[in-house]
Structure 1
Amino acid sequence: MDSKKFFSAAQKHLMTATGYMIPFVVAGGVIFAISVMLNGKAAQPTTGWLGQLNMIGSAGLTLFIPALGGYIAYSMADRPGLAPGFITAYLATEIKAGFIGGIIGGVLAGFVVMQLKKIKFSPSYKTLGSIFLYPLGGTLIAGGVMVYLIGEPIASFMTWLTAMLNGMSGVAKAPLGALLGSMIGFDMGGPINKVAATFAQTQVNTLPYLMGGVGSAICVPPIGLGVATLIFKKKFSPAERDSGKAALLMGFCGITEGAIPFATSDPLHVIPANTIGAAVSCVISFMLGCLNHAPWGGLITLPVVENRLGYILAVVVGSLVTASIVGLTKKAYVDGSKFKTEDDEDLDFDIKQF
């Protein structure tokens, strides 16, 4: 397999797994945030019905790395890879190998099951292979490799990475913030966006400042474009101005995809504006020390954000940067229907007259 096919396949498997993982993040993150919001302080409730509600949210957040690994293996090896992928990725989290261990565990399980599926069975025993041999052998081999061979080195690397990122000073964080923010704004929910978001989400328990920056950047493209439709009305069609209202709401909820309709209609002006605005927001959040304890973005996570004013400032400034760039560079909207000539009108006819 050449490098192009390899990276294409890797992207496919990662995007498939990320799509399946996101509901775990959404359900767990939102419920977690609600429990903290109702608790009245930026701390997890541990008793009463709020503590139980927090337990529900935490369950989703506990499972999303195993889900990531499980569905990577599923994408590679179909249903027989699902259990080995989940179990191997879960073992990676238990060993403290983090999201990198989860991804490697999923790839390892998928590869092992793919090799096991090359073993030929007679038609009468084919089902036995799918429900017994492939899951059992895949789990034993991939899980064993994770536990006995690669788990501890990956965990050591993750410990080093965490310490290195935690040790960054304010100035040193700026390039990282610019990179992550740019990735978030560039393709608005696409593969580049998801790589940055997943990196921050899976580090939320150890490096919440990453999610502080990424969480603010996530909502900048839709909010910025929504603001642009309000300030620079002449630059947008009536339909786009209506979409701007929806984009504002989606931005508040941390859904970057609200900016996609604008990027589709005018990518040359909108994508650079989104990229720059999201980068600015992420850098500001990093520099101000904003911490987001939920693996989600937007203003909906404010109950679990430390330094909320700084977080809001990052969102506002980044959104205004995006709106300003779009407003200054985008051409005025021209209604094509106004240029319909008398000759054009003469061409209109009713087929019934023939």
Structure 2
Amino acid sequence: MPQLITADLVALDADLGAAKEEVIRSLARRVATAGRSGDPDGLLADAMAREAQSATGLPGGIAIPHCRSEHVTEASLAFARLRPRVDFGAPDAPADLVFLIAAPAGGGAEHLTLLASLARALVRPDFTAALRAAATPADVVALVGDVVQPAPAAAPAGARAAGATPAGAAGATAGSTAGPTAAAAAAGGATAGAATASAAATAVATTPAGTQDGRPTGAVAGTATVPAQGRRIVAVTACPTGIAHTYMAADSLVAAGERAGVTVTVETQGSAGSTPLPPDTISGADAVIFATDVGVRDRTRFAGKPVVSSGVKRAINDPDGMVREALRAADDPASTRVEGAVSTPGGTAAAGGAAGGAASQVGFGTRLRQWLLTGVSYMIPFVAAGGLLIALGFLFGGYDIALAGEDGVSAADRIVGENSLTNLPAGGLLEYLGAVLFSLGALAFGFLVPALAGYISYAIADRPGIAPGFAAGAVANAVGAGFIGGLVGGLIAGAAALAISRISVPRWGRGLMPVVIIPLFATLIAGGLMFLVLGRPLAAATTGLGNWLSGLSGTSSVVLGIVIGLMMAFDMGGPVNKAAYAFGAAGLSAATAANEGPLVIMATVMAAGMVPPLALALAVALRPKTFSPAERENGRTNWLLGASFITEGAIPFAAADPLRVIPSIMVGSAVTGAVVAASGVTLRAPHGGIFVLFAIDGVLVFLLALVAGTVVGALAVLVTKRLGRRTAELDA
């Protein structure tokens, strides 16, 4: 395998700029110069998108910007030892050690495993001290190589990695005693596969410290010897990218457990793969820690366990505090516990604590929002794929392919059913292709409400809730309850599935619960309620809403446009933005020739969502000195992001100066939303920006409204910037 890092990817004691974007750009260019990336700007954009999710600065002067990018051809590490230091968002101080971890978008697990090994080593003070003392780039390459690709070494007698396989299914091999972290063992080269095993897996444990050949050693779940009265904690770590923070959090928790005299076993749900913790390890644990920025896979395995939850970065910054909290939770009978049915020694299943598991530490309103957003996030791909295919069908076949005849069959369905490539319709090949695209899109769109309901139910009750949720969504479609019915049906299905999962059943019935009993009865409850009680009222509400929207005119439509505009700009891809988008996209399926209200809403949503990045791009172009160098670079990319309806392009500006930027872009979006809604502009595609202008009826007004909102938003940003310190000063 080619080296992940070479001397030409290393910069020592270098001044790469005053902002983190400048540092990342310089390292991305080094990756491209080394022939490992064909587009350094694309790599920079992907890395900065990851930065926008959460800062990659870590305590101790370390930063690990990282991403998976289609612009990377070979997994690479680029390193800079900075003079002066640059702020990457760490809680203590700016960073002087920066690794850009760049993985191909389709990279295999082996590369990702090696990259994760580096991340785990960065929690070791001896490794970071050696990096600061390195005299030449070759020294850095050797240090990193010892961590990610250690030389083979014989394991001591009697030592073995629990479950270790050539694929690296377990952690670092343990000696007779264990050291601070499993990453330390990997770095020490206890076995040939230690580093890769440590990163891919997932079960890492610690016992009281020891040494082997003068080096610390680690232990793996199932191999560590712990005192008979020792406490045990299991944990799950996961971050959105799954390359760095996932594994660093795991080793930080392991090290904290060792300092507290506690065995900590971690399942890392990262890009390098995930091997579930053994059931006996989970059952023997006193408490569980969820340190994740994404959902925990199969969390019902931990049902009944006292739980402490946080984002992944807290496990890196304050692992000792999390371990202490977990121990307190284990001793508190009233502590929050993971939901679900849990086996007991008496052979029965007991309810697993407070509903919502880790989420139950927050209020019901927050949990409800999380459930609904989970459903929306899974629904959006169906909306995007189906809606764009329908729009392409209109482009090729014209709007008439959607019209139904006296028999109720649409022209597209008739063409697809009666014609073929060798028997084209009267309109020729384009009409046939348009009919095929329209029909395919309509079929994909048909999953919109079932997917929404299914994954709302999944968010509440995990996998047993999927089938009842999809069934409830299908019923909502059948009775005409639409998007509203999907929301209600998903909540009912999830609540029913969760309630049934808590029922105590004999031992022989446990295996049937998740695959037969829960889906059957939860589907019966949710589907029955939708058919017998809720279907008609929800259908009437949906119809009434559609009629109201189609009848909007004058002042009422302006107000609606303003509200949608404010929502689209408020959090730029967050819950409020997604709620407005889901409302607009879901309405596309209800639009008819006589009811174009939903199409007006979709046009309003897209136009208003394009304004924030375009307004900031214009503001940067008008007064570049008002913005920092990083923001000036972002301003140039925002032209394309805004034109493509990617509202998230405004996030870096809003994060740096929220009190000035967010209200300003909200004003611009409200202007655009009001003009589009009042003018009755319609849109038949759910996404695409200027690239779906063919699907807009009233395109000139749409563009004029977009320009007006962009200008207003840009001027508002510049005016508010003058009311206080310049952004460049704030970033310094």
SS at match of 2:447: helix
Match of 1:237 in 2: 628
State the 4+ residue runs in structure 1 displaced beyond 6 angstroms.
none
| 2:533 corresponds to which of 149, 152, 159 | 149
Query: Mind listing any 5+ residue stretches in structure 2 that lack a counterpart?
Result: 1-354, 403-411, 413-430, 592-597
Residue 299 (structure 1) shift: 2.1
Query: Mind listing any 5+ residue stretches in structure 1 that lack a counterpart?
Result: 340-354
- Say whether the 8 Å CA contact 1:254–1:300 is kept in structure 2: no
Task: Supply the distance in 2 between the matched residues of 1:42 and 1:324 (Cα, whole angstroms).
Answer: 39
| 1:99 corresponds to which of 457, 469, 483 | 483
In 2 relative to 1, CA 303–127 (structure 1 residues): closer, same or farther, beyond 3 Å?
farther
Q: Kindly provide the CA deviation profile for residues 201-253 of structure 1, in whole angstroms up to 9, marking residues without a partner as x.
A: 11123321111111110111111111222122111122212212222212112
Task: Supply the distance in 2 between the matched residues of 1:297 and 1:147 (Cα, whole angstroms).
Answer: 37
Task: Supply the distance in 1 between the matched residues of 2:699 and 2:438 (Cα, whole angstroms).
Answer: 21
| 2:443 corresponds to which of 59, 68, 78 | 59
Q: Going by fraction, where is strand more abundant, 1 or 2? A: 2
AA partner of residue 364 (structure 2):
F
Match of 2:303 in 1: none
Q: Kindly provide the CA deviation profile for residues 272-299 of structure 1, in whole angstroms up to 9, marking residues without a partner as x.
A: 0111111111100011110111223622
Match of 2:17 in 1: none
Aligned-pair Cα RMSD in Å? 2.2
Match of 1:227 in 2: 618
In 2 relative to 1, CA 333–157 (structure 1 residues): closer, same or farther, beyond 3 Å?
closer
Question: Within the alignment, does 1:134 sit opposite 2:518 as a pair?
Answer: yes
Q: Kindly provide the CA deviation profile for residues 135-191 of structure 1, in whole angstroms up to 9, marking residues without a partner as x.
A: 111111100110111100111111112112222222221111111110111111111
Structure 1 range deviating more: 71-80 or 288-297: 288-297
| 2:666 corresponds to which of 260, 275, 290 | 275
Match of 1:343 in 2: none
SS at match of 1:188: coil
Q: Which has the higher contact order (CA 8 A, sep 6+)?
A: 1
Q: TM-score, normalised by structure 2?
A: 0.44
Question: Within the alignment, does 1:20 sit opposite 2:404 as a pair?
Answer: no
Once the two structures are superposed, the pairs formed by residues 58-137 of structure 1 within 5 Å of their partners are: 58-137=442-521
Task: Supply the distance in 2 between the matched residues of 1:160 and 1:175 (Cα, whole angstroms).
Answer: 19
Residue 62 (structure 1) shift: 2.0
| 1:304 corresponds to which of 690, 695, 705 | 695
Q: TM-score, normalised by structure 1?
A: 0.89
Q: Kindly provide the CA deviation profile for residues 281-319 of structure 1, in whole angstroms up to 9, marking residues without a partner as x.
A: 110001111011122362233121110111111111111
Q: Kindly provide the CA deviation profile for residues 123-145 of structure 1, in whole angstroms up to 9, marking residues without a partner as x.
A: 45323110111111111110011
- Say whether the 8 Å CA contact 2:607–2:673 is kept in structure 1: yes
Residue 333 (structure 1) shift: 4.9
AA partner of residue 556 (structure 2):
A
**Percent same amino acid among aligned pairs?**
38
In 2 relative to 1, CA 94–296 (structure 1 residues): closer, same or farther, beyond 3 Å?
farther
SS at match of 2:573: coil
SS at match of 1:202: helix
Match of 2:347 in 1: none
- Say whether the 8 Å CA contact 1:209–1:289 is kept in structure 2: yes
Task: Supply the distance in 2 between the matched residues of 1:241 and 1:334 (Cα, whole angstroms).
Answer: 10
In 2 relative to 1, CA 244–57 (structure 1 residues): closer, same or farther, beyond 3 Å?
farther
In 2 relative to 1, CA 51–104 (structure 1 residues): closer, same or farther, beyond 3 Å?
same
Residue 25 (structure 1) shift: 1.7
- Say whether the 8 Å CA contact 2:601–2:677 is kept in structure 1: yes
Residue 81 (structure 1) shift: 0.4
Match of 1:162 in 2: 546
In 2 relative to 1, CA 186–334 (structure 1 residues): closer, same or farther, beyond 3 Å?
closer
The count of aligned residue pairs is 336
Structure 1 range deviating more: 93-102 or 324-333: 324-333
Question: Within the alignment, does 1:315 sit opposite 2:706 as a pair?
Answer: yes
Residue 59 (structure 1) shift: 2.5
Task: Supply the distance in 1 between the matched residues of 2:641 and 2:487 (Cα, whole angstroms).
Answer: 29
In 2 relative to 1, CA 122–246 (structure 1 residues): closer, same or farther, beyond 3 Å?
farther
Residue 336 (structure 1) shift: 9.0
Task: Supply the distance in 2 between the matched residues of 1:291 and 1:225 (Cα, whole angstroms).
Answer: 26
Kindly name which structure, 1 or 2, has the bigger radius of gyration based on alpha carbons.
2
Residue 34 (structure 1) shift: 3.0
